[in-house]
Structure 1
Amino acid sequence: MNPVYDFIQKNRVLALIEKAQQTNARNLALDDFDLTYFPDVLISCQGLHSLNIGHNTIVDIPLEISQLKNLQHLSLEYNHLDIFPETLKNLPQLITLNISHNPLHDLTKDIGCLVSLETLWCNSCLLTRIPEEIGNLTKLQTFGARHNKINKLPNRICELINLKWLTMEDNNLNSIPKEIDKLQMIKHINFNKNNFSYIPYRLSKLKNLKYLHLQSNEFFSMPERTIFAMPHTKINLQHNPLRLEDNKIFTNIIITGSENEILDMIGYDSDSSSDDWDNSLDSTELNYSATDEDSDNENREVISNMPILSKFLVTC
């Protein structure tokens, strides 16, 4: 890396942290600053509620992060974490965690310690399984694990009684747990690009389920019994090798149509109170933007004042 560019980037980061410390800021965005490590001075920002440190090359999260007792929203997406950070288990107050696009392979049982989580994104993490400890997260409302290699859902996922949005797109699933009907709050399920060849009849017992995405699976015939039992659910069966009978009409099934037509029919859940749900698109873009005086405009002000140097900066 260019030494001058590296110097400027480091100083920008330290200046933003110093400003956050001085103003007792609630929100801090350090994404895309070419960070290779978690800055130790961040621990001084005791007022932080939201921290976005994604789109860097961080490989480890230090134990000291547990000192951020007010931290509720944490984004670590697009870093180089190859194991689930054990230190996160010391942040049981976290409400939102985005750890997508890290080569984790496993969430480990430590995920079960984050008992306050309402939103968890772990897309594109090379996961092969979800640990049973996910069942500890009984406050979880949104769970996304797209683009992984998961072939089975844990039985304890059925204990997530507040779950409303579940997306497991692009995995290796072909079945669901027997007690899935316990998820009576769920509204939106995305099983696109898996290996389902039938719709489990147990899904018909989910009376709040509005949208069921089953595009690009292995349906050769129409699962009529289940479809008739789910008149309240829009089911998307596009891009399946279905053999259709002309005289069959299913008003809640989507088989053909343009992308815009599909969005109109199954689009964003208008009853959703979560800005994090992205209608099963490819990327999660959690919004950690501040709404108070320590917003992005203030961050820009800090950067625009360069070359004022942070007092933390050490040069050789």
Structure 2
Amino acid sequence: MNPVYDFIQRNRVLAKIEKAQRSKARNLALDDFDLTGFPNILFKCCDLFSLNLGHNNIMDLPNDIIQLKNLRHLSLDYNSLDKFPMALKQLSHLVTLNISHNPIKELTKDIGCFVTLETLWCNACCLTTLPEELGTLIKLEAFGARHNKISKLPDGICNLKNLRWLTLEDNNLHNVPQNFDKLQSLVHVNFNKNNFNFIPLRMSKIKTLRYLHLQNNEFFTLPDTTIFAMPHTKINLQHNPLQLEDNKIYSNVIVTGTENEILDLLGNDSDSSSDNWDNSLNSSDLNYSDTESESEDEEILTDIPRLSKFLVTF
């Protein structure tokens, strides 16, 4: 890296952290600063409620992160974590955690310590399994693990009675656990790009389910029995090798159609959360930060002496 650019980047970070500390800020965004570690001054920002550290080069978290005792939302997506950071266990009060786009091979069995967690994103990691302990996250409302290599869901996932949004697009799934119908808060399920060739009948017993995405799977025929048992659910079966019969019409199923027709069926009567979910299929970025304006960043770049009083590296 260019030494001048490196100097500017590091001291821009310190300037932002110092400002957050002085103002007792609740939100801090340190995305895309080429961070490999943590400035010590960051741990003095005890008022932080949300912290974004996405798009850096962080490989692990220090135990000092426990000092951020008020932190509730943490985003670590697009870093270089090759294992679940054990220091995170000290932040068991987190509400939102995003570890997507890191080469993490497995979720720790200690995931159950996050008893207050409501949203967990672990998309595009290197996961092949999910731990049974996932089912102990009884407050979890949204879970995303798309773009992994998961072939089977743990039975414990059926204990997530508050789960509303589930996306497991682009995995190797072909079935769901026996007690999947216990998920009686489930609204939106994304099983696109998996290996399903039937809709498990137990899914028809989830009366809250409104959107079921099964595009790019292995359906050769339409599962009539299950479809008729799910009149309350809009089902997308596009891009399957279906052999269709012309005389069959299903008001709640998409097998072909234009983009506008699909939006009419899947979007018009959904709430805003569902719309946002549809639009988030290619990203799991969460941003709770009140970021500074472009003009403030430009001011920092053109006024090097004001960058920071700590001219150190980390």
Q: Structure 2-normalised TM-score? A: 0.94
Which one of the candidate residues 289, 306, 309 is aligned to 2:307? 309
Aligned counterpart, 1:104: 104
1:145–1:7 CA distance, 2 compared to 1 (3 A): same
Aligned counterpart, 2:199: 199
**CA deviation vs aligned residue, 1:273-296 (integer Å, no higher than 9, x gap):** 589734451111212132xxxx52
The answer on whether the counterparts of 1:276 and 1:285 sit within 8 Å (CA) in structure 2 is no
- Correspondence 1:134-283 to 2 at 5 A: 134-267=134-267, 270-273=270-273, 277-279=277-279, 281-283=281-283
1:302–1:25 CA distance, 2 compared to 1 (3 A): farther
Which stretch shifts more, 170-179 or 279-288? 279-288
Q: How many residues align?
A: 310
Unaligned runs of 5+ residues in structure 1 are: none
The answer on whether the counterparts of 1:216 and 1:240 sit within 8 Å (CA) in structure 2 is yes
**CA deviation vs aligned residue, 1:257-316 (integer Å, no higher than 9, x gap):** 1233323321387335589734451111212132xxxx524x85366243113122227x
Shift of 1:108: 1.3
The answer on whether the counterparts of 1:167 and 1:280 sit within 8 Å (CA) in structure 2 is no
Shift of 1:98: 0.7
Which one of the candidate residues 281, 292, 296 is aligned to 2:292? 296
The answer on whether the counterparts of 2:188 and 2:274 sit within 8 Å (CA) in structure 1 is no
The answer on whether the counterparts of 1:162 and 1:183 sit within 8 Å (CA) in structure 2 is yes
What SS is found at the alignment partner of 1:42? helix
The amino acid that maps onto 1:81 is L
Aligned counterpart, 1:76: 76
Shift of 1:237: 0.5
After superposition, the CA RMSD in angstroms is: 1.8
Aligned counterpart, 1:122: 122
The answer on whether the counterparts of 1:30 and 1:52 sit within 8 Å (CA) in structure 2 is yes
Q: Structure 1-normalised TM-score? A: 0.94
1:123–1:210 CA distance, 2 compared to 1 (3 A): same
**CA deviation vs aligned residue, 1:53-83 (integer Å, no higher than 9, x gap):** 1000110111111111100000000000000
The answer on whether the counterparts of 1:15 and 1:302 sit within 8 Å (CA) in structure 2 is no
